[in-house]
Amino acid sequence: MTAALPWLTDLNKGLHGYVEQSFTAAFEFSHEIREAKDAQDFLRIYTEYTQRCFKSFTRQMSDFAEIYAKIASGAIKAPSIRL
């Protein structure tokens, strides 16, 4: 199927990268949060983590929007659905 849809291979690689980034960020967060000395330190670490996640999510959605725009403009041929 991916031979007929070469852009799908790139999309799958991108999705795999997003999953790896998310797991790495969560793993790092779990290590950082264990080092929190008090509630203020905990909130700082948590706030930094959520900000990183939001930035990552924004980049990912931008990538998806670009892919869908290419499909919609015809730059990438979307598969035809046969019923």
What residue spans define the domains of the chain?
6-73
Helix (H), strand (E), coil (C) string for 34-57: HCCCCHHHHHHHHHHHHHHHHHHH
Q: What are phi and psi of 37, to 5 degrees?
A: -90, -25
Q: How far apart are CA 26 and CA 5, in angstroms?
A: 32
Q: Six-digit token pair at 60?
A: 């990912």
- pLDDT value of residue 27: 96
Side chain identity at residue 15, one-letter code: L
pLDDT, one tens digit per residue, over 10-20 is: 778 888 999 99
pLDDT at 32 over 80: yes
Residue identified by tokens 């959605």 is: 61
pLDDT, one tens digit per residue, over 39-51 is: 999 999 999 999 9
Q: What is the pTM of this model?
A: 0.69
